[in-house]
Chains A and B, each alone.
Chain A
Amino acid sequence: MTTVRKILHSGTSRRTILAGLAAIPLGFAAGRPAFAQSQTLTIGILDFLELSLKPVFEAYQAARPGTLIEYSMLPSTGAELRQTLLTRRISGTLPDITYLADIFSTQFAEAGITTDMRAFLTSGGPINEGSFAAPFLGQYLMAGGDLQGGIFGLPYGADTVVIFYNKTHFDAAGLPYPDDTWTFEKQAEVMRALTVKDGAVTTRYGAAINVPWHATYVPGIEARGDTLLNDEGLYKLTTPAAIETFTSLWNLVNEGVLASETQLRQQGGTLGAFTSGTASMFQGVRAHVPSVRAAMTDDWDVALVPTINGVRKTGMGSIAQAITPSGQANNPELAYDFLNWFYSEDGGMKVLTATYGVVPPVTELFDSPIWLDLPGPPYDNRVFSESITFGTMNPTQIPASVQSVVDSQLRVAEEAVTLTGADIATSLAEAEAIINEAMALELAQ
């Protein structure tokens, strides 16, 4: 006899059974777990950060029983990220905390997507303005306008550009690994030694460097003693320093030893070229490390970028997270608690750095074993924090809409030089004219 029949034949009335079934939900309600009365924090994260941040969110939920983090994905490409957040702002569906890139700090602040984080930094918690490395926090500091002095983002990490190199390629070629004494000329020489060609076609590049990337050309120009912008905030691409910066790199592209954006479109970018073995070196940041570790079969390590004319300059920057107006209005205490925990050595930073994807942006953690002592590769982790000393950033006053024009025009200039043999100075002059036209339009508004 089945269990149900036993119950029915035990003398228990059907009415009693039905009453018991009806009482079950009430029993759950009375003894419901804490999460049913939880607070929920909504966070919009850049799509490539999911693997790194998911364990962080899980750790926070474990540390704060009853708290739930709901995260949504934001596109990581600039134009799509801006479009998504702007439309979410218009529709009133911004998350409590959102991630953003440095080029959008001013635009998002003015658009009301992010709020002034000074409210959090002065709230009395363990994390304050002095906790962060100044250059990285400075990217999100409003230098002028109505929002002057406001801080509209907290850096997610402290990224600087370093050289990733394939040790197996170097060993096979009998070349010593890059070290702190490397100059740009030495790097070019090694690129030529590592390049493999099949007739006129390069099958393996000495290095993959995205030349039209601001983290490449801005340090190059500054190492040569000039700046990217003039006093009026307009681009200077036809100065000797700028022309020399682009010439030194595009000549290597024309030689077939350096792969830049034009060549890398079919390679999946600099990262794809390096991990597939199509390039022996690439210039990247700490955020690339998880992907390289996952995809790379050869042994590899990192080194400081070479000096130019005795001066070492490297690109640096960071994406950031900020509380949105809806988060500030609806959930400030929970958001503050999450951020304080996120940047703590025993909290978020410990979980996040274990993914290999972040150098902590908190200065007191630069020498912390939570990330320095992670087993390699990469082995020479001190390179990431030491690079901060030589770091230089893309000027923060460049509007995001103009940056789009800059990226596009420099890409066209590179194609003209490398595909059609156009004169570098002429190509840069044409790019500068169009960029400054867009900049003047933006500044006039």
Chain B
Amino acid sequence: MQRHPFPDRAAALPIAAIQTARPDAASAPSALEIKQARKAVSAFSLLWTLIFVGPNAVLFTIFIVGPILAAFGLSLFQWDLITAPQFIGLDNFAFILQDSRAINSIWRTGYLLVAGVIPTVILAFLLANLINTRFPGYSVFRTFYLLPIVISFVASAVLWRFIYDPRVGALNAILGYFGVEGQNWLQDTFWAMPAVSLVIIWMRLPLAIILYLAALQQISPQQLEAAEIDGATTWQKLRHVILPNVKPVTFLVVVITVNGIIFESFDVIRVMTGGGPLRSTEVLIIYIYEMAFGQLRLGYASALATVLFVIVAALALLFTPPRRRIGARP
């Protein structure tokens, strides 16, 4: 049987057209015809690539890359939106090192990341495993855990602000039933950040659970059966079969959660605490907003945003190891 020169179906179309056009459709195409067909395929593929990828690339450049580059540039200036921008070089970055409030906001961001990412990853993994067991009523539970996705960040923050109210909030009422004294959660410099972290974990869990659930359902049942036959305990199956298979998803969940916490925490913190009390919840994104729009120091705010970009990029690279080590796409 004559072997098709191009296994790719799309690439085969021009060949098929040549073959059907020729009087003798069974004869092989010439080298020139093959070359022409390859060119046509290449151009054809390129055209479709441009059609599908192009709009996204254009929009990405205009709305993501462009503003990032503009922010880099603005960080070298002093500008208040009213007078003309004044070039000051790296002075804004030098000031960050002396600005105790900026240092505090970076530390607070790190606190929120640790307090938000680790519990999100662990809880999401455990809950996904629980749902995967398809226990009775799991479909109802599945509906409830997806609820935070459909509620806006601001609405969530308002809701939780009410829950945390020391006088009428549900949290202190529930704790009271167990004889535990409730706190003034959002007005306590110690408890405010954990209170905010809990809200962010609650908001990030649904997406993380969905990702883990999809990964768990991709695990080959034969692997698990083989492990059972070999006498593996539940813990051994988890450690030697499940965890290695969901490792790529874990990295993805970490990256997505880090990104979400850094940027989406603005809505929650702004509504719930405004960065207080005593700047105990003033993360970098809140401070950037205050500098940019509260004090109209757009150059300094851009410098802070540049620092934030570097932090996020570093974390993303850290949690996205080379593919050959993972061995599979997430």
A7 within 8 A of B: no
Is there an interface contact between B278 and A201, defined as CB atoms closer than 8 Å?
A: no
Of B276, B279, B296, the contact of A262 (CB 8 Å cutoff) = B276
Is there an interface contact between A265 and B165, defined as CB atoms closer than 8 Å?
A: no
B: contact size bracket: 20 to 34
- Closest 4 interchain pairs by CB? A79-B293, A404-B294, A415-B277, A111-B82
For the complex formed, measure the closest distance between the CB of A133 and the CB atoms of chain B, giving whole angstroms. Answer: 30
Between-chain CB contacts (< 8 Å), 12 pairs: A83-B293, A198-B167, A262-B187, A265-B273, A266-B186, A404-B294, A411-B276, A412-B278, A419-B187, A419-B189, A419-B277, A420-B278
Is there an interface contact between A86 and B164, defined as CB atoms closer than 8 Å?
A: no
Bound together, the chains give a CA A262 to CA B166 distance in angstroms of 13
User: In residues 80-95 of chain B, which contact A (Cβ within 8 Å)?
Assistant: 80-83
Over the window 48-85 of chain B, the binary record of Cβ atoms lying under 8 Å from chain A Cβ atoms (1 yes, 0 no) is: 00000000000000000000000000000000111100
Is there an interface contact between B295 and A401, defined as CB atoms closer than 8 Å?
A: yes
B274 within 8 A of A: yes
Q: For A408, what are the chain B residues with a Cβ–Cβ distance below 8 Å? A: 290, 294
Considering the complex, give the chain A residue whose CB is closest to the CB of B297.
A401
Considering the complex, give the chain B residue whose CB is closest to the CB of A405.
B295
Of A265, A278, A405, the contact of B186 (CB 8 Å cutoff) = A265
Residue of A203, A405, A412 with most chain B CB atoms under a 10 A cut-off: A412
Bound together, the chains give a CA A416 to CA B279 distance in angstroms of 10
B204 within 8 A of A: no
Is there an interface contact between A86 and B166, defined as CB atoms closer than 8 Å?
A: no
Considering the complex, give the chain A residue whose CB is closest to the CB of B82.
A111
A: contact size bracket: 20 to 34
For the complex formed, measure the closest distance between the CB of B151 and the CB atoms of chain A, giving whole angstroms. Answer: 19
B interface vs A, CB < 8 Å?
Answer: 80-83, 161-162, 164-167, 186-189, 273-274, 276-279, 290, 293-297
Is there an interface contact between A265 and B274, defined as CB atoms closer than 8 Å?
A: yes
A326 within 8 A of B: no
Over the window 64-95 of chain A, the binary record of Cβ atoms lying under 8 Å from chain B Cβ atoms (1 yes, 0 no) is: 00000000000000011011001100100000
From known contacts A262-B187, A404-B294, A419-B188, infer whether A110 and B276 are also in contact, taking CB-CB under 8 Å. no
Considering the complex, give the chain B residue whose CB is closest to the CB of A445.
B83
Bound together, the chains give a CA A404 to CA B292 distance in angstroms of 11
Q: For A80, what are the chain B residues with a Cβ–Cβ distance below 8 Å? A: 293
Over the window 182-215 of chain A, the binary record of Cβ atoms lying under 8 Å from chain B Cβ atoms (1 yes, 0 no) is: 0000000000000000100111000000000000
Q: For A82, what are the chain B residues with a Cβ–Cβ distance below 8 Å? A: 293, 296
Besides the contacts A83-B81, A278-B167, A401-B296, what 8 more A-B pairs have beta carbons closer than 8 Å? A79-B293, A79-B294, A86-B81, A201-B167, A262-B187, A265-B187, A266-B162, A266-B165
Considering the complex, give the chain B residue whose CB is closest to the CB of A434.
B101
For the complex formed, measure the closest distance between the CB of B269 and the CB atoms of chain A, giving whole angstroms. Answer: 12
Considering the complex, give the chain B residue whose CB is closest to the CB of A90.
B81
Bound together, the chains give a CA A111 to CA B84 distance in angstroms of 11
A263 within 8 A of B: yes
For the complex formed, measure the closest distance between the CB of B2 and the CB atoms of chain A, giving whole angstroms. Answer: 65
A40 within 8 A of B: no
User: In residues 93-124 of chain A, which contact B (Cβ within 8 Å)?
Assistant: 107, 110-111
Bound together, the chains give a CA A3 to CA B119 distance in angstroms of 72
Q: For B295, what are the chain A residues with a Cβ–Cβ distance below 8 Å? A: 401, 404-405, 438
Q: For A79, what are the chain B residues with a Cβ–Cβ distance below 8 Å? A: 293-294
Q: For B274, what are the chain A residues with a Cβ–Cβ distance below 8 Å? A: 265
Considering the complex, give the chain A residue whose CB is closest to the CB of B278.
A415
